[in-house]
Amino acid sequence: MIEKLKSNWRLTLLAVILLVSLFVVFSPTMAPQTNVGGENATTGDRLTNLQYGLDLAGGTRIRAPLIGMTAENVDIGNESTTNVAAAVANELPDSDTTDVSVRRGTLNGPTVEVVDPDVSESQFGDALDAAGYSYESIRDGLTQETRDEAINVIEGKVNQAGLSGASVQQVTDGTGFFMLIEVPGQDRSNVIDLIEQRGNVRIDIYHQNDAGEYVTERAVLTQNDFASISNARQPSSQNPNPRVPVSIRQDEGIAEEFQSAVVETGVAQQGGATCRYEENPQNTDPCLQLVVDGEVINSFGMNSDLANSMRSGEWAQSPSFVLTTTSFEEAQEIAINLRAGALPAPLAIDQGTTSFVSPTQGENFRTDSLIIGLLAILTVSGVVFARYREPQVALPMILTAFSEVLILLGFAAYLGYPLDLSVIASFIAVLGTGVDDLVIIADGVMAEGDVSSRRVFSSRFKKAFWVIGVAAATTIIAMSPLAVLSLGDLRGFAIFTILGVLVGVFVTRPAYGDILRNLLTER
């Protein structure tokens, strides 16, 4: 018995992997955690743990470039990047430091990027010259580091919004780079509302200066100054406004600096401050202003208890307060932006393309994909039976090829990879090439006559397997660029084709060899 298991260890390995794949695909314990987006955000199959992509679930696809220009090989010496960004921003009309970023260590030397859509290339060059920084060239587009940061931020926004099955990647058409965002189960307007804003959140203070003039002290708090952000809260009897509870970082003196600022400007005056900015900005107590992407979302004062704790210095020991908004939707948006961070550059959605696949159409695609898969299996089965006319050879061949598809489904379910039409196409390709390789094995073993000796079988099998190995290596080499490069749907096709080839070479083809050896040999 032990010797038999040793000789059939490949077949045993295939059986174990198939059982694990079935468990991963169908077991409720392996199902993804329920997302907070509700039923409409679900893109999976209730009977399985498979997740569906845009093509099979319906949803929105947005392909848009990031706005910006890059000055390359800028001579900034040893000056800090923060000072360089501030110096360049000061020379640009209507821009601030959030529109300028400076990076060291890129392929083209130190770079300065400007993401203000209203700044022209000549204005950018003049600003660099006026700030005293020489540069080699200015080009459209941003650095790879900025594009990577944008992907991370968009992924964060999508995840914070509770949208399951979404994907964010960088693609290129040879002329430039684009962000490709796919969100199954969501309509176009919801997705655009989520990602079109950069999401720069800051707190300003609007107050009177010593001359009696109303001025705005900008960026008293920025996104990096928040230590924690709670979920958006609905209005209640105790708090009539939608709100986002937050806490401020205590390191680097951030909480103490904010505390001093609100005391000095009068927001934390004795008895608190009543903000009437919307009613009469020239006749109001000092106000804290919640600003998103340069627009004042809400203005609010400070109650007496909070003001007194600020004035006594106790607040900085436990620095938390509440950001109030005028609607719950705004509060949700603020919470998402604070958690995910701000986009390093705005998305030019009007310069890209958007498409929407209705859920009904996605369901039709799922049905059609299932029918095509079944037709592929039946067609392959018919050809194999017509070729060999021996069930003991043909039936194991069909079951072995089908097992490759099941194993790939297990990979997809385990990784949470959303299935789309390109992945389905790779499954069909794997099924076809898998049967082709098994035919090579069967013909190689049986074509030369009697194969009752295991030694003869082993010799013929090795010759056939060598051909399969070379073909597999060729396929992997050919598909690797598609799997690595950012070419949208082609990437999923290439990844699962390569996985299918590897599973075939290391698991299913050797296991089929064990089956044939047991069926055809006697010693």
Residue 331 phi/psi, 5-degree rounding, is -60, -40
Residue with the bigger pLDDT between 77 and 185: it is: 77
CA–CA dist 428, 297 (Å, integer): 52
Q: How far is CA 157 from the centre of its chain?
A: 9
Every domain of the chain with CATH number 3.30.70 lies at 60-64+146-198+346-354, 69-141
pLDDT greater than 70 at residue 485: yes
Q: Report the interhelical angle of 391-415 vs 489-503 (nearest 10°).
A: 130
88 pLDDT band (50/70/90 cuts)?
very high
By percentage, how much of the chain surpasses pLDDT 70? 93
Residue 228 phi/psi, 5-degree rounding, is -150, 150
The string over 16-25, giving b where at least 16 C-beta atoms fall within 10 Å of a residue's C-beta and e elsewhere, is ebbeebeebb
Residue with the bigger pLDDT between 161 and 410: it is: 410
- The per-residue pLDDT for range 89-146, each reduced to its tens digit, is 999 987 777 889 999 877 778 999 999 999 999 999 999 999 999 999 999 999 999 9
The CATH homologous superfamily for domain 2-56+358-520 is: Multidrug efflux transporter AcrB transmembrane domain (1.20.1640.10)
DSSP classification of residue 33: P
Q: Measuring CA to CA, which residue among 434, 466, 456, 426 is closest to residue 517?
A: 456
- Retrieve residue 485's tokens: 């490069």
One DSSP character per residue, 317-379 reads GS-EEEEE-SSHHHHHHHHHHHHH---SS-B-GGGSEEEEE-HHHHHHHHHHHHHHHHHHHHH
CA–CA dist 364, 222 (Å, integer): 47
pLDDT greater than 60 at residue 356: yes
- The per-residue pLDDT for range 247-258, each reduced to its tens digit, is 999 998 999 999
Instruction: Tell me what pLDDT residue 36 has.
Output: 33
Where is mean pLDDT largest: 1-10, 21-30, 74-83? Answer: 74-83
Every domain of the chain with CATH number 1.20.1640.10 lies at 2-56+358-520
By percentage, how much of the chain surpasses pLDDT 90? 35
Instruction: Tell me what pLDDT residue 143 has.
Output: 93
In the 3-class helix/strand/coil scheme, how is 8-29 assigned residue by residue?
Answer: CHHHHHHHHHHHHHHHHHHCHH
CA–CA dist 464, 7 (Å, integer): 19
Residue with the bigger pLDDT between 53 and 338: it is: 338
pTM tops 0.75, yes or no: no
Instruction: Tell me what pLDDT residue 464 has.
Output: 86
- Retrieve residue 95's tokens: 């821009």
Element (H, E) at 118: none
Instruction: Tell me what pLDDT residue 130 has.
Output: 94
SS3 127: helix
- The per-residue pLDDT for range 201-249, each reduced to its tens digit, is 899 999 999 888 999 998 899 888 999 999 899 988 777 889 899 999 9
Element (H, E) at 208: strand 201-208
- Structurally, at CATH architecture level, domain 69-141 sits in 2-Layer Sandwich (3.30)
13 pLDDT band (50/70/90 cuts)?
confident
pLDDT greater than 50 at residue 177: yes
SS3 162: coil
DSSP classification of residue 449: S
Fold of 60-64+146-198+346-354: Alpha-Beta Plaits (3.30.70)
Instruction: Tell me what pLDDT residue 4 has.
Output: 47
Name the one residue in this structure whose structure tokens are 């390359």: 72
pLDDT greater than 80 at residue 159: yes
Q: How far is CA 275 from the centre of its chain?
A: 40
Of the listed ranges 278-292, 365-379, 448-462, the least confidently predicted one is 448-462
181: region left, alpha or beta (phi > 0 left; psi from -120 to 50 alpha): beta
Neighbouring-strand partners of residue 300: 288
CA–CA dist 373, 380 (Å, integer): 11
Instruction: Tell me what pLDDT residue 366 has.
Output: 86
Instruction: Tell me what pLDDT residue 68 has.
Output: 94
- The per-residue pLDDT for range 297-347, each reduced to its tens digit, is 889 899 999 999 999 999 999 999 888 888 898 888 888 888 888 899 999
CA–CA dist 144, 142 (Å, integer): 7
Mean confidence (pLDDT) of the chain: 85
Instruction: Tell me what pLDDT residue 488 has.
Output: 64
- Retrieve residue 469's tokens: 């190995």
Instruction: Tell me what pLDDT residue 197 has.
Output: 85
Residue 341 phi/psi, 5-degree rounding, is 90, 175
Instruction: Tell me what pLDDT residue 409 has.
Output: 92
Every domain of the chain with CATH number 3.30.1360 lies at 201-340
pLDDT greater than 50 at residue 520: yes
CATH of 201-340 given 3.30.1360, 1.10.10, 3.40.50, 1.20.140: 3.30.1360
